Structures are given as structure tokens and as C-alpha cells.
Amino acid sequence: MEPREIKGLEIAAKTKLTRKGKSNQWLVPSQTNKQEKYTVALDAEQPRCTCRDHEFTNDRCKHIFAVEYTIQREQTADGTTITTETVKVTRKTYTQNWPAYNAAQTEEKSRLQALLYELCKNIPEPEQRRGRPRLSLADIIFASTFKIYSTVSGRRFQSDLQEARRRGFLSKMPSYNSVFRYLEAEALTPYLYQLIALSAQPLKTIEEDFALDSSGFSTGQFMRWFDVKYGKEEDRRMWLKVHLMCGVKTNIVTSVEISDGYANDHGYFKPLIETAAANGFTLKEVSADKAYLSGENFLTTLRHKAIPYIPFKINSKAQSDYGPKSTVWTRMLSFYNDHREEFLTHYHKRSNVETTFHMIKSKFGQRLRSKTLTAQINEALCKVLCHNLCVVIQSQHELGIDVDFSEANAA
């Protein structure tokens, strides 16, 4: 038996499959998300399923096998019931280095402040010619990023800042209003991009396979929205999109871009790839979903000596109405069609970018609290920077890497 048949037997034995009326369509629950169901249609010449696996392989998936086993068990010619023998499936597990994990988690808050201080202390201080003395740029970025890491309100965060001041990470104690005000400064944005790139440097020898995607972060602002289908107006929450590329081993973010909530993902593929390559990462594989499918993105990846694993659409062809497409497109389409199993083995690494977004949102929140657009962009970048520092701390304990951001800043 192949793995899909075994999983189909497990679904048929442990879950309830529902038939849609008198048709030959069945609702099959997902094994990973109990709230999600897939539709299996057996009335066509070839069974169809709405799951991703069937869409990619165009072959029998575990949900189709589950329906076939259910029908075999419940419907026989002589009216008797045949019970299919259930095969015990051993779920694949991954080992966890618990001593290293526990040490990283218990020391994270303290260690993050030290690493953030090393990142910030060599930021060049702009010259101030007049006006009241202001906080140093290093103090501003440290306080703003540490505030996002804490996930508490600005007033309750003051005790954490006082402790950081006592440890020597701040030259001057800022008020909570100062943290809010400086977070709205456009001058902070390029420095945050720079610090995100520097925070990923310790893992550039570890990562060689990467994944891209985008995800939305909601804000506290609303806009008027007219529902075309029902002809009514309502308020819709506005959000920003975070486009990022991450390593699939440690989930470190190598490059990031921020856009409005309706921006097209396709145009951010090239800048994310080129930024990661410019920061010293050696690219071997790059995985992304169909939103990034284009010959230009294939070529961009190949120019950096990496293999793009971007699935094709159902209607993708080697020749368009205007003539044959590029050689790169044709070769990748041929590889996708002729070696689907091998392709999907590599493409599966793309799920790690979903894990990265889950790590950021579950730990630092999926909502941006700031009110202005600039502050929201800086807040989103601070979340990514905090995530990178947490990944570096975890890698210090599990992989034994050496980290010295002071040397990276000096270079």
C-alpha cells in the first residue's frame, strides 16, 4: 500500500464521511483541521477532490481512497456488510532538544536585550544643530523594538525600560509618550530594514533553502466598503501586508517588504530574492505559491544559481496565443509535469513560511496598534526584528552558533 491509501483507510475508520443527498459527492473531513472539509466527486470519469494534493498530482488522494473504502464497506451486491481491516499508522514525529529549548526560552528576554543593544549601539547618530536635546537614535530603536517584544501597553512597559536602563542598555530613560512619538518617525524605517538584515547574518551559513509568501496584519482603522452582492455599506478593517522570505531550517527572515493590504504579491518576489543575495545568503532552492508564477521570477531565481519551485496553474501551457514562451518557462513546466512527486517534495518546504508568520503573530500579535501609517510600518518591522532575534537565541542553544553583532555593525 502507498502512504495515501494507508491515510485513506485511517480517515475511513476514524471519521464520518457524509454523502451529499443522492449524488455521488462526499464531504471528507481534513485530518489536520477538523473544521475544514473537502468535496470528493465520483460521478465523473475520473474521481475529483478539492484538496491541494489532488490539484497538484491529479491522482487519487487520501480523501478519494477514504470514500472508496467507505463505499466498499457499506455497499455490497448481496446486501452484507464488509468491514475493511484498518492498518495502524505510525505518525512521524520530530525530536526536540528539550534542554536547549528550555534554556533558550528561559533566557530569551534577557538575552534579547543584549543582542538588540549590540545591534543598535553602532547606529550613526545624526547631527542636531538646534532645538531641544533629543534621545539618541540607538535608544529610540531599542526602546521601540523592546516595547513591541513586550506586547504590553506603553505605561506598563516603563518598568521594563527602567530595568534596561539599570543594565546599561539605555543612555537616557525615555517616557512612554516619547516611544509612541518616535515610532511615528519615517527616519526609523530604513534603520529597521538594516537591523533586520543584520540580525539574520549569523545564520547565513546555515540556510540555503528559502520560502516566500505574504500575510496581512490588521490595524485599528476602518474604511467604508460597499458590498456589491447585497448592495449595502459597511465598515471594513484596514490592514497592511508583510512580504518576507525566510530560511526553511530556522525560520530566520532574510528580507522583508511592507505594502498596503491590496498589493499584488508577484512584484515583491524579485526584491526579496535580491536583498537576501546581497546580504550574503547563498540560495539553493526557493519555494513560493502560484501567486509568484512568471517567467521573470523563474529567471531571477536562476540568476542567483537557485532552483525555483513554483507550481504551475491548470491552464499553464508551453505556448501562448502569441507564440512559444521562454526556454526557462518551458523547461520548468516540463519538470513540473514529468516529475511531479519530486517537485512536490521540494515545494513542501514552502509551508515553513506559514510557520514563520504563525510564530510572529502568535508571539507578538497579529494586530498593529499604531494609528498612523508610518508607525504601523515601523511596528510591523519591529515584530519581524524581534522574531529574528528570538530565532538567533534559539539557534545559539541548539546549533551552537557564535553571535557578535558589534563586529557586524562595525563592518
Quick: pLDDT tens for 183-200.
Answer: 999 999 999 999 999 999
Give long-range contacts, CB 8 A cutoff, 24+ apart: 90-99: 97/398
* Strand blocks (E) in 263-388: 285-287, 307-309, 319-320, 323-324
For every residue of 83-108, DSSP letters joined together read PPPPPP-PPP-----HHHHHHHHHHH
SS3 state at 207 = coil
Query: Domains of the chain by range and CATH?
Result: 3-74 (no CATH), 197-358 (3.30.420)
Q: What is the pLDDT of residues 58-82, one digit of tens each?
A: 888 999 999 988 887 765 555 554 4
Q: What is the pLDDT of residues 208-257, one digit of tens each?
A: 999 999 999 999 877 766 665 566 776 677 899 999 999 999 999 999 99
User: Of 409, 391, 52, which Cα lies nearest the Cα of 248?
Assistant: 391
CA distance 392 to 207: 13
CA distance 365 to 151: 8
CA distance 192 to 381: 6
Q: Give the whole-number percent of the chain exceeding pLDDT 70.
A: 89
Q: What is the pLDDT of residues 281-301, one digit of tens each?
A: 999 999 999 999 999 999 999
Mean pLDDT of 2-20: 86
CA distance 261 to 256: 15
- What the block records as the C-alpha cell of 176 is 512612554
Q: Are 297 and 265 in contact (CB under 8 A)?
A: no
**DSSP label of 124:** P
